[in-house]
Amino acid sequence: MVATSAASAFFPVASPSPVKPSMMLGGGGGSDNLDARGIKSRPASSGGLQVKANAHTVPKINGNKAGLLTPMESTKDEDIVAAPTVAPKRTFINQLPDWSMLLAAITTIFLAAEKQWTNLDWKPRRPDMLVDFDPFSLGRFVQDGLIFRQNFSIRSYEIGADRTASIETLMNHLQETALNHVRCIGLLDDGFGSTPEMTRRDLIWVVTRMQVLVDRYPSWGDVIEVDSWVTPSGKNGMKREWFLRDCKTGEILTRATSVWVMMNKRTRRLSKIPEEVRVEIEPYFVEHGVLDEDSRKLPKLNDNTANYIRRGLAPRWSDLDVNQHVNNVKYIGWILESVPSSLLESHELYGMTLEYRKECGKDGLLQSLTAVASDYGGGSLEAGVECDHLLRLEDGSEIMRGKTEWRPKRAANTTYFGSVDDIPPANNA
């Protein structure tokens, strides 16, 4: 009763009309016109018998006319009076309103709000508009807005047989941080990191050299913190630097550096940096590198000098990036295709130097060559292996040269980098 009273206060329902006494058997007032079945008869007109056709079709239920009796029923129920109409019992359930209209209104409001939110332009255009934490949670700026920091969680599909993140996973996170850095300073216009002035001149960034040192690979569920910034590299290049840390302990996991130059995306030729583009990017340069450049010359392998060759490597459509060529991270997976499985099982990759010599399109068919150094010993923690790599097209054109360094798989909590004093602190926000 309490629930019914409370519901009726919020959802009033019209009370059913009371049944008139004249509609009940034995009632007064007008009951003299009822026939034997309790149906009120219509008096005949003075002009004789007149029959009027009903203009409306009588509704049917299960083949019988609604409200009328079948011949059999009319014979049996001659003396039965029509039962009076009984109002349905008022309960809490049948007094609830139709919630579908309310849900439709709420959905419309949320869709409109989402559209307005996504149409907002969050990209700052001047250094004084830099935000400490962008509204899409892509990361934040540290070191006076010159270093960009972003966190990533290692997912289950990003780990390999060793239950740790793969080298491709780390490289993808480094690349994602770099692009979000360009986006949050307001210079991401079209392509991978292209500024507005680069877009006007059909210019894109391409990587020519990459150097990576891995101290420890994160595991599934670890949260890593990536710092990224840019430094100058000669007259026509730019360097991109990265630090990768364990977010919980601040331990340095990976250091990486890369060299980038400009290429015309229509002619596919390298280009000098226009002065208008230099004006865009120079305010964000930081004179701080993370690795000493590996100046060793990378040898060119051939069928005679390579120990292992993997042929028939073809790019998939998903390997292409927005610049319509194979993404540089995919090359790393290809050179590892020719590394012997015995080395992959006993050692882990910790150092890598790559020279990108030519882009690869969707129609390329490649070969991966690897030469493993033979003068190494096994068993001790300090013993390692060096490999030289070549990625080429079937016609012999070089795509990439590389050198990788491998160490025996180690026990947990062994650190190789030691302390690095000039690394930006992990908690400096």
Q: Which one of the listed residues 328, 360, 387, 389 is annotated catalytic?
A: 360
> Which burial class, exposed, middle or buried, applies to 79 when counting CB atoms under 10 A from its CB (0-12, 13-18, 19+)?
exposed
User: Is 304 noted as a catalytic residue in this protein?
Assistant: no
- Residues with Cβ within 8 Å of 427's Cβ and at least 6 positions away in sequence, in order, are 250
Cβ-Cβ contacts under 8 Å for 86 (sequence gap 6 or more): none
Of 188, 348, 202, nearest to 262 (Cα)?
202
User: Angle at which helices 167-184 and 328-336 pack, to 10 degrees?
Assistant: 170
How many angstroms separate the CA atoms of 285 and 264, rounded? 23
Structure tokens at 7: 């519901």
Q: How many CA atoms lie within 13 A of 115 on its CB side?
A: 6
How far is the C-alpha of 191 from the C-alpha of 324, rounded, in Å?
A: 10
How far lies 228's CA from each of 143, 280, 354, in Å?
A: 11, 18, 19
Can you tell me the distance from the alpha carbon of 211 to that of 179, in angstroms, rounded to the nearest whole number? 18
Query: Is 414 within 8 Å of 422 (Cβ atoms)?
Result: no
325 is catalytic: yes
Q: Which amino acid is at 119?
A: N
Give, as one character, the DSSP assignment of residue 317: G
- For 225, residues 6+ apart whose C-beta sits below 8 A from its C-beta are 149, 150, 151, 244, 245, 246, 247, 426
Whether the CB-CB separation of 301 and 372 falls below 8 Å is answered with no
Q: Which of 152, 215, 211, 212 is nearest to 180 (CA)?
A: 152
Count CA within 13 A, CB hemisphere, residue 301: 26
Query: In this structure, what DSSP letter does residue 320 have?
Result: B
Segment holding 7, helix H or strand E? helix 2-10
Residue 198 near residue 154 (C-beta atoms within 8 A): no
Q: Among residues 180, 184, 323, 347, which one is catalytic?
A: 323
Annotated active-site residue in 325, 327, 387, 389: 325
Secondary element (H or E) of residue 260: strand 252-264
Q: Which residues participate in catalysis according to the annotation? A: 323, 325, 360
